[in-house]
Amino acid sequence: MPESVTGPSVFVQTWGCQMNEYDSARMVDVLAKDRGATRVTRPEDADIILLNTCSVREKAAEKVFSQLGRWRDLKEENPALVIGVGGCVASQEGHAIREREPLVDMVFGPQTLHRLPQMLDNVADNGAGTVDVAFPEIDKFDHVPPASAEGATAFVSIMEGCSKYCSFCVVPYTRGEEISRPFDDVILEVVELADQGVKEVTLLGQNVNGYRGPMHDGSVCDLAMLVEHVAEIEGIERIRFTTSHPLEFSDALIDAYARVPELANDLHLPVQSGSDDVLAAMNRGYTAAHFRERIARLREVRPDISLSTDLIVGHPGEGEEEFEATMDLVEAVGFDSAFSFVYSSRPGTPAADMADNESREVKRQRLSRLQARIAEFNQAYMRSVVGTRQRVLVERESKRGDGQLAGRADCNRWVNFDAHPRLIGQFVDVDVTEALDNSLRGQLVIHEPAEVGPSTEAEAVGG
Ligand code: SAM
Ligand code: F3S
C-alpha cells in the first residue's frame, strides 16, 4: 500500500459501457467518503479489488472467473485482501459466483453499490461473504456522494435501468426497470459540477429519452425539458446525452435541438436493424420508416448533425433479405459511425429461445460487409470536417506523448493540435487540417484581443 494513503486502497477493473465506467467512479466515491479510500491503478497495490462487469455481449461469466483466477495469488499473499464482483454479471449470477469462486468476498449489483461500506463491515466482522444484488427503489442515487469533477467534462446519471425489454438484451434483468432521478437532484448535481469548472455534461442512462423525472410541484420533467434547464445553468456550455431510443425520440426533443445551442451537434441513436420483421422480433416498437422519419425531422433543424448508431447482425429471424434491409437503411441514413456486433445469445432473454438458423460464419461475413461500409462513411465524414473550424473543449494532453493537446469537437470527434497545456479545460477554436481514422488534427486559432489592453500578447479563446 502506498505510504501516503490513510484509508484502504481500491482497484476497480471495469468492463462495459460508459454506464459501467460511471458506476465504477461512484464505487470509489462511496468508499472514499465512508472509508477514506484512494483509487490505485494496479491490483497488486490494492486492499480492495472490485470487478465491475458487463454481460451485454460475450461469454461474460467465464471471463469473470478467469479474471478472478488471475487474482488468486494476490489473495494467497494477502488474506486480508477483499475481492468484490459487481455489475451485470454479479446481478445475474448472484450467489453462484461465491459458490464457484470462494475467494470472492462480496457480490453486488449495479443498484447496491452504495451499500459497499456495510458489505465491507460484514466481511470484516463476520469473516463471511456477502451477496446483495437487490433492486432497491432509486435508493442508490440518495446514498451516493455528490459527484466530484475531474476536469471540464462530467457524466451525470439521470436514470437507471430499462423497461424496453428488447428481445436480445439483459439490461432490464440486470439493472431493473427504468427509474428516473428527481429533477431537482439532477439540477443540483450539475450546478455543483459547474461550480467545480465542468463545462460539458453527458446525461447518462440506458434509455435517457424515457426520462420522467418527478418535479417538486408534482409534475414530471422529460428529457427535452431537462436539457433546456441544464442549458440554463451558468458555466454549462455543452450538453450530450446517451443512450436514447428511437421510439421516444420525441418532437419535443427535436425542438430542443432547434432551440438549445448548448445541445451538442451529435446524436447516438441505436437502430439495431433495418428490417421491420427483425425490429418486431427484437421488440423495438418502431419500423425502419419511423426511424428515417425521425432523422429527417432532426436534420431539418440540424442539417449537419453527426449521427451514430448501434447495429446487431444475425438476430434470430435475420436472413439475407433482412440483412439487406439493414444495409439499405445504413445507406439511406448515412450514419457517420456505428458500433456493430454479431448477435450473442444471452441466457434468460426472449431471443435466446427463438429459432436461429444462420451459421456463425454467415453472420461474421455480414458483419464484415456492414463494417466495411460503415468505415467508408466514417472516412467520408472525417474528410468532410477537414477545412472547417471546430469548437473544441480541451480535455488533456494527447496520449501519443507528442506534446499536443486533445479535445473533443461538437461532433464528439477527438481533435489533436499544438498548444500550451494551460488551455486544458477551455473551449478553443481549431481549424481542422487533417483526418486520421479515428481522430482529427488541426491548428489552434489565435484570436486577437478586440481592444488593445495592457497585454499585447494574442490570446487563444473559444468561439
Ligand atoms: N439503450 C440502447 C438502445 O436503445 O438500444 C442500448 C443499450 S445496450 C446495453 C448497448 C448495445 O449493445 C445495444 O445497442 C446493442 O446493439 C448491443 N447489444 C445488446 N445486447 C446484445 C446482444 N445480445 N448481442 C449483440 N449485441 C447486443
Ligand atoms: Fe437493452 Fe433495449 Fe433497453 S437494448 S438497454 S432493453 S432499450
Residue 370's φ and ψ, nearest 5 degrees, are -65, -45
206 CA from centroid of ligand 2 (Å)? 7
Query: For residue 5, is pLDDT > 60?
Result: no
Please choose from 54, 160, 166 the residue to mutate so as to test ligand 2's pocket, defined by most ligand atoms within 8 A of CB.
166
Find cell 447495429 and name the residue. Answer: 311
Q: Are 457 and 432 in contact (CB under 8 A)?
A: no
Cis geometry, peptide bond prior to residue 41 (ω within 30 degrees of 0): no
95 CA from centroid of ligand 2 (Å)? 25
- Hey, whose CA ends up nearest to atom 1 of ligand 2? 169
Question: How sure is the predictor about 191, in pLDDT bands with cuts at 50, 70 and 90?
Answer: very high
Beta-carbon count within 10 A of 376 CB = 10
Sign of dihedral through CA atoms 347, 352, 353, 356? negative
pLDDT digits (tens, 9 = 90+) for 319-339: 999 999 999 999 999 999 999
DSSP annotation string for 368-401: HHHHHHHHHHHHHHHHHHTT-EEEEEEEEE-TT-
Q: Which residues contact 11 (CB under 8 A, 6 or more apart)?
A: 39, 40, 41, 42, 43, 45, 46, 48, 49, 50
Q: Which residues contact 211 (CB under 8 A, 6 or more apart)?
A: 158, 159, 180, 203, 205, 221, 222, 223, 226
Strand partners, 153: 200
More confident residue, 271 or 61: 271
358 CA from centroid of ligand 2 (Å)? 23
What is the reported pLDDT for 452?
52
The ligand with the least distance to the CA atom of 249 is 1
Give the separation between CA 260 and CA 410, rounded to whole angstroms.
Answer: 13
User: Rg of the chain over CA atoms, in angstroms?
Assistant: 23
Question: How sure is the predictor about 105, in pLDDT bands with cuts at 50, 70 and 90?
Answer: very high
| Mean pLDDT across the chain | 90
DSSP letter assigned to residue 247 = G
Conformation bin of residue 150: beta by default, left when phi > 0, alpha when psi is -120 to 50: alpha
Strand partners, 339: 310
pLDDT digits (tens, 9 = 90+) for 252-303: 999 999 999 999 999 999 999 999 999 999 999 999 999 999 999 999 999 9
Q: Model's pTM, two decimal places?
A: 0.88
Mean pLDDT computed over 120-127? 85
The ligand with the least distance to the CA atom of 349 is 1
Give the separation between CA 230 and CA 233, rounded to whole angstroms.
Answer: 5
Total residues belonging to the chain: 463
Mean pLDDT computed over 383-411? 93
Beta-carbon count within 10 A of 222 CB = 18
- Helical H runs in 196-287? 223-231, 251-259, 276-281
Query: For residue 60, is pLDDT > 80?
Result: no
b/e burial code for range 387-408 (CB count within 10 A of at least 16 → b): eeebbbbbbeebeeeeeebbbb
Query: For residue 455, is pLDDT > 50?
Result: no
pLDDT digits (tens, 9 = 90+) for 134-186: 776 656 677 677 667 789 999 999 998 999 999 999 999 988 899 999 999 99
Please choose from 56, 171, 175, 286 the residue to mutate so as to test ligand 1's pocket, defined by most ligand atoms within 8 A of CB.
56
What is the reported pLDDT for 150?
81
CA distances for 448 relative to 442, 458, 461, angstroms: 19, 5, 9
- Hey, whose CA ends up nearest to atom 20 of ligand 1? 169
Chain Cα centroid distance, residue 295: 22
Please choose from 56, 169, 346 the residue to mutate so as to test ligand 2's pocket, defined by most ligand atoms within 8 A of CB.
169
- Hey, whose CA ends up nearest to atom 7 of ligand 2? 164
Chain Cα centroid distance, residue 92: 21
Ligand 2, CB cutoff 6 Å, lining residues: 162, 164-166, 169, 171-172, 206-207, 245
442 CA from centroid of ligand 2 (Å)? 37
